[in-house]
Amino acid sequence: MRSVLHTSRLVALLAVLIAAATVLQIARADDDSPPDWNAAGSVQRFPGGAFVVPNWRFTSGPHVRSAFRDVVADARQATVRVRSDGRDVALGGIVGADGWILTKASRVQGEITCELADGRRFPAELVNSSRDYDLALLKIDADQLPTLTIAETAAPQVGSWLATVDLDREPIAVGVVSVEPREIPHQAGILGVQLDDRSNRPLVVRVFPNTPAAGAGVLVNDQIVSIEGRPTPTREALIRAVRRFNPGDRIAVEVQRGDETVRLTAILTGHVPGQPPSRSEFQNSLGGPLSERRFGFPDAIQHDTVLRPEDCGGPVVDLAGEVVGFNVARSGRTESYAIASAALPKLIAELMPDDSPPEASPAAAGEPAAAVDTP
């Protein structure tokens, strides 16, 4: 039975390679004849002519993805779609048969629901999260659920095919490993306030529009007295506290407003107010929206799968159908990150509450270590 399974997966790989080779055989348009703009494809111009590449020939197209149908069949049964306040925000994977689900932490807030592969929907509770890995553990009231088998093996080699599992029979996207597991550097996030520079107090003299501070409700003349429960008695202390976190991190902000103490929540950004995006930021955005939290991971696999931010948080499998990681961010036009499976069992175990049964406990959290900044 296992040999038959491997044979079917080799056939799937062959189909992918044939589809990729077909792209290279597309007829070149004559110099004098314009490209067919009505064709469902992308026009690539070269000296002496242009190539029209149909979208369905891309690795994200249905012909290529269908070749991976058998590869994702098992993991699909234990994959969920996560919604916050009715919006699709992430994918997730079932890591405990009695309702434990792992997903992308920074995407979940408000009223959370999970849709299973069989169509059932359950309200979910946010149990714990790791700021280091930006992964969260959810709990739904269900039992006897199919679970993911997470491979505790070495990370897939550079050039290996990967498939991102969805609720459908076909993967949501496929790609190849670009870079071996490595640390993804931290980037300081930005709150979006200007502080009083005539004193050493963390006193807000300006709140920039369309920034985390504005969205959180910070006002001019507020004095920011703590970040994530850590006192910020001085201007420098506040700046250091914010810079510990990454863009996309959700932080608790406590302000003194007259005689009143107000507790707010801000989701930090990486954009400096009033400044246009850098050239690299602009180029990366051409491939579509990026994950806000895409920095500061201790260890991640980089692959070239084109994902939407709401398609992160779930399992990614190799050609043998083994879960080799959890997608955690779309970082660039051709860059997505996945937390390698070797780190997941320990991580899930740490995220489990202390009173959870031992057999339900997979892996872990981490001490909050994100980063953010104030202009």
Query: What is the pTM assigned to this prediction?
Result: 0.77
Q: Which two tokens stand for residue 114?
A: 């999970």
For residue 20, what are the CA distances in angstroms to 24, 60, 173, 252? 7, 11, 15, 48
Q: Tell me whether residue 334 is exposed, middle or buried, using C-beta atoms within 10 angstroms of its C-beta: 0 to 12, 13 to 18, 19 or more.
A: middle
Strands (E) located in 73-222 = 79-84, 87-96, 100-104, 112-115, 121-130, 135-140, 161-164, 173-184, 193-195, 204-207
SS3 (DSSP) at 353: coil
Give the pLDDT means over successive 10-residue stretches in the chain (375 positions).
51 50 38 42 53 53 74 93 93 95 94 95 95 96 93 83 92 91 93 92 94 95 95 95 94 94 94 72 73 93 93 94 94 92 92 67 35 36
**Domains along the chain with CATH numbers:** 2-66 (no CATH), 73-184+284-360 (2.40.10.120), 193-267 (2.30.42.10)
- The two tokens of residue 56 are 């369905």
Residues with Cβ within 8 Å of residue 261, at least 6 apart in sequence: 225, 254, 255
Pairing of strands 173-184, 161-164: antiparallel
Strands 79-84 and 87-96: antiparallel
Specify the pLDDT at position 32. 41
SS3 per residue for 231-267: ECCCHHHHHHHHHCCCCCCEEEEEEEECCEEEEEEEE
Q: Distance between CA 217 and CA 361 in Å, rounded?
A: 39
pLDDT in tens, 150-168: 877 778 889 999 999 999 8
**What's the token pair of residue 365?**
């959290």
Burial class of 91 by CB neighbour count within 10 A (0 to 12, 13 to 18, 19+): buried
Residue 102 has a pLDDT of 97
pLDDT digits (tens, 9 = 90+) for 71-84: 899 999 999 999 99
Q: Which residues contact 252 (CB under 8 A, 6 or more apart)?
A: 226, 227, 228, 229, 263, 264, 265
**What span, in angstroms and rounded, lies between the C-alpha atoms of 6 and 64?**
18
DSSP state of 284: H
What is the C-alpha separation between 65 and 321, in angstroms, rounded?
Answer: 14
Say how far apart CA 82 and CA 64 lie, in whole Å.
26
In which region does residue 347 sit, left (phi positive, over 0), alpha (psi from -120 to 50) or beta (all else)? Answer: alpha
* CA-based nearest residue to 286, from 248, 335, 337, 249: 335
Round to whole Å and give the CA distance between 375 and 255.
18
